Amino acid sequence: MNIYVITLVIFGVVILLTSWLPMALRRLPLSLPICCIAFGMLLAWSPFPPLLQINPLQNRALTEHFTESVVIVALMGAGLKIDRPVGWNRWAATWRLLGIAMPLSIAAIALAGWGVLGLAPASALLLGASLAPTDPVLAGDVQVGPPQTGEEDEIRFALTSEAGLNDGLSFPFVLASIAMALHPGDPSWLGHWLSLDVVWRLVAGLGMGWLAGQILGYLTFRVPRSTSLAKTGDGFLALGFTCIAYGATELVHGYGFVAVFVAALTLRGVERRNAFHGELHDFGEQIERLLMMVVLVCFGSVVAEGSLLSRVDWRVIVVAVLTLAIIRPASAWFSLMGTPQPSAEKAIIAIFGIRGLGSIYYLAYATGKANFPGSETVWATVLIIILISIAIHGIAVTPVMRWIDRQRGVDSPTPMRKPVLSKRSTGMKEDGRITLPNPGGD
């Protein structure tokens, strides 16, 4: 039997499902990630189990780079579809989720890992730092719509902007756990960590992201129209923008995740209402869905194979329930106290902090830099939490978002809705700009 040919057939099926499933599931209480995992489990139980059973502990580098690719593509897409300009008041909920909810979540999950799972301090901190961020990949069903479609209410905006920035902002805590594992009982690493991993890497990520966005925005929209990148109409330039922003920032030891999202926001700001943003977003979304499906099919195969999840016991389940049902909702709710959003909207923002592929990336990255005591338990805990999060949030998101939209008297966006960018319907000018109101306000 030719394994290569069989792999091609399976990959072709995944590509077809990438296009068809979002349309088929848009009115059902199911999500694309749930179907991907189920498909992977079926493959594992099929006559071809060796194809996709990739244990992340045995293939750490592959796991790291594959999940890294999915996350950075998702971050570019998240930044491109945010219509609201950056501002202190406009982004008030985002700053609260990042500055209050995420540190509280990291501390609480780390305490649960130390107290319930019996993890060493470094491993407990790694667990907390990996699980605190809302995932930009799997949170797509509760994010804003494509550029310039008006699908940007407070719930979707808060979760999209949070997912765009918190992956990079949790990285200092991942690096702190690595330093703790390399220097147990020796706090001498704190100075280096504060100066390099916190200050320099964050400043470099923000600065390089802004610089990349300005340069790419100029080349795309500001140079003479006959030679601008927007003139090409090629959406795959989004992939080039992503790689440039991420790679250039990593070369100067900044946080590439932060840079990619900031670059996308800056690119939007250079020419906010140009139709080309829709082309960039659509291509990025297609690549993101394809990569996500491949990763989750592999994830489902690992789940079905069972060796990694065989370490799941009652303690792991307790930590999973604490993380998803108490720690994330409570910390996010606390961070949003005093904001003008109705209680129902705050509750949805607090509950729908989906765990996902970013957590897998952090674990793969950290375990390649240092030896963590109980790393198998950490992996099992993260994987079971991701699995539960995908299942619960995936089933609940459609009816919950439909209900809150009815409460507010608006139509629920569908996953397949595209931006309307024709000249007749949007008032597009000859230079590619469209005349839409500036959303968000101050």
Place of tokens 């930590």: 319
Number of C-beta neighbours around residue 441 at 10 A? 10
Q: What is the pLDDT of residue 150?
A: 62
Q: Specify which residues 433 forms β-bridges with.
A: 274
Whether residue 83 contacts residue 439, with contact meaning beta carbons closer than 8 Å, is answered with yes
Q: Does residue 46 carry a pLDDT above 90?
A: no
Average pLDDT (8-15) is: 81
First CA to last CA distance, the chain: 63
Q: Does residue 135 carry a pLDDT above 60?
A: yes
Domain boundaries, the chain: 56-412
Q: Does residue 200 carry a pLDDT above 80?
A: yes
Compute φ and ψ for 433, nearest 5 degrees: -80, 155
In this prediction, residue 373 has a pLDDT band, given cuts at 50, 70 and 90, of very high
How many CA atoms are closer than 13 Å to the CA of 436, on its beta-carbon side?
26
Q: Look at 136-145, 151-160, 282-291, 430-439 and tell me which has the smallest mean pLDDT.
A: 430-439
- Collapsed DSSP state (helix, strand, coil) of residue 274: strand
Q: Does residue 96 carry a pLDDT above 70?
A: yes
- Collapsed DSSP state (helix, strand, coil) of residue 119: coil
What average pLDDT is seen over the chain?
Answer: 84
DSSP code of residue 82:
-
Domain 56-412 class in CATH: mainly alpha
Task: Report the length, in residues, of the chain.
Answer: 442
Structure pTM? 0.86
Average pLDDT (2-23) is: 78
Q: Look at 163-172, 303-312, 316-325, 339-348 and tell me which has the smallest mean pLDDT.
A: 303-312
Question: Would residue 326 be called left, alpha or beta, if left means φ above 0 and alpha means ψ between -120 and 50 degrees?
Answer: alpha
Q: Does residue 117 carry a pLDDT above 80?
A: yes
Average pLDDT (218-230) is: 83
Q: Does residue 422 carry a pLDDT above 80?
A: no
Distance CA 330, CA 84 (A): 27
- Collapsed DSSP state (helix, strand, coil) of residue 331: helix
Give residue-wise pLDDT tens across range 231-260: 887 888 899 999 999 999 999 999 999 999
Task: Name, in order, each residue with C-beta under 8 angstroms of 11's C-beta and a sequence gap of 6 or more.
Answer: 294
The H or E element containing residue 386 is helix 375-407
Q: Does residue 425 carry a pLDDT above 50?
A: no
CA distances from 336 to 52, 88, 247, 264, 330 (A): 42, 15, 34, 26, 10
311 against 213, higher pLDDT: 213
Give residue-wise pLDDT tens across range 320-371: 999 999 999 999 999 999 888 888 889 999 998 888 888 999 999 999 999 9
Q: Does residue 213 carry a pLDDT above 50?
A: yes
Q: What is the pLDDT of residue 254?
A: 94
Question: Would residue 87 be called left, alpha or beta, if left means φ above 0 and alpha means ψ between -120 and 50 degrees?
Answer: beta
Q: Which two tokens stand for residue 161?
A: 């902007």
> Which amino acid is present at 386?
I
397 against 100, higher pLDDT: 100
In this prediction, residue 5 has a pLDDT band, given cuts at 50, 70 and 90, of confident
> Which amino acid is present at 320?
A
Instruction: List, in sequence order, the alpha helices (H) in 252-327.
Output: 256-270, 276-305, 314-321
